[in-house]
Structure 1
């Protein structure tokens, strides 16, 4: 896969690059946030390993901006381990979070887990257009509209909405959603599901609609009545 490392520590970069190249990945490096954003546009990575503390533009802002034009999977790299930093990173659209110091092989394993994530076959009945009141989901076009107005969602937000609405009578546990969207080998916790669903609900609510995703306490999520 194409992997972009956005990290200002030469030691961390050298260690990660050696392992990733050995594993067969194509690797580019940026030592500050501004260059990182430029490389996301030109290199079009599938994975971005993104440090939180960066010169010029910090990692959280880089993550926020790249989500506007890239579907790359983002794994945050940081020496901070406070829960607030994790939540902020996830709310900006990050897919995973690794706290320094880490083993390069751990990062490589997480990249592999993302690459093995299950995909929904395009001939599956679940790809058909679905309508819930004024909310319309078009899976093949990866398009969501509220009363005809398109709602801009991140890749993970759309995948969650698509997965839950494809089987509206099923209660989807956090584990089910985590395995479907992030893959069964993902190392993080289930909190990432709640963060992305919270962001999804807010975007649809701001568009004047309702996400129709309701929480089943102690179990997971399902689609509210049509």
Structure 2
């Protein structure tokens, strides 16, 4: 059992919330239901969570507002579970820091598998080498603190963005295809869905550019993939 893994489930529909709690419990984790954005905010501010399952259409604070708060203040993984089907909504939430997006109605086995995959990614982050630092130009990756810095100022990255950057900086001369990146970071087979990679890579580049507009850190090798720019 994994009783020390606490998962906050923010969903206003009681039946769906109960089902998600059951899925989490069946996987051996501890669920905590919240039925509004306002109630969820209280739990977020008063307890440490290992994951958040988040609906977007909530009473009180919206799911987007909750996501913004969680992603800017912590590296807690967030999986969106929503009836909103538009691709634009999915891309917007990924850009805002969500780690995954599941549409309703959902398959129980799929939700279970995605929770497991997401937690595995974050466990790997916690097992990175201690007292190890990677450098590229004025970019520093501290794998003990799991933080990135540009010119000494911290770069606020989501867990997935951190892991992508870690992958690139671990092999600075290697060109990583989109399949390389996806399979190394998500640990799932790549089926050609470019959107997920494009959104996260765009987020990383935007944050790096904002930290230092005069420098370029990642280059696209057309027809091949990505690598660190020398």
Instruction: Classify the TM-score, shorter chain.
Output: 0.7 to 0.9
Shift of 1:195: 1.1
**Distance of 2:17 and 2:216 partners within structure 1:** 41
Q: Secondary structure at the match of 2:59?
A: coil
CA, structure 1 residues 146+116, in 2 after alignment: closer, same or farther (shift >3 Å)? closer
1:16 aligned residue? 20
Q: Secondary structure at the match of 1:218?
A: coil
**Distance of 1:14 and 1:185 partners within structure 2:** 31
CA, structure 1 residues 67+99, in 2 after alignment: closer, same or farther (shift >3 Å)? same
| Aligned 8 A contact 1:96 1:188 in 2 | no
- More relative contact order, 1 or 2 (CA 8 Å, 6+ apart): 1
CA RMSD of aligned residues (A): 2.4
Shift of 1:189: 4.1
TM-score, normalization: structure 1?
0.87
TM-score, normalization: structure 2?
0.86
Shift of 1:192: 1.9
Map residues 98-117 of structure 1 onto 2, 5 A cutoff.
98-117=102-121
Shift of 1:8: 0.4
2:207 to 203, 207, 210: 203
| Aligned 8 A contact 1:114 1:186 in 2 | no
Gap regions ≥5 residues in structure 2: none
Q: Secondary structure at the match of 1:203?
A: helix
Shift of 1:191: 2.0
Bigger shift: residues 165-174 or 16-25 = 16-25
**Distance of 2:224 and 2:187 partners within structure 1:** 19
1:26 matched to 2:33? The reply is: no
Aligned residues: 223
CA, structure 1 residues 111+6, in 2 after alignment: closer, same or farther (shift >3 Å)? same
Gap regions ≥5 residues in structure 1: none
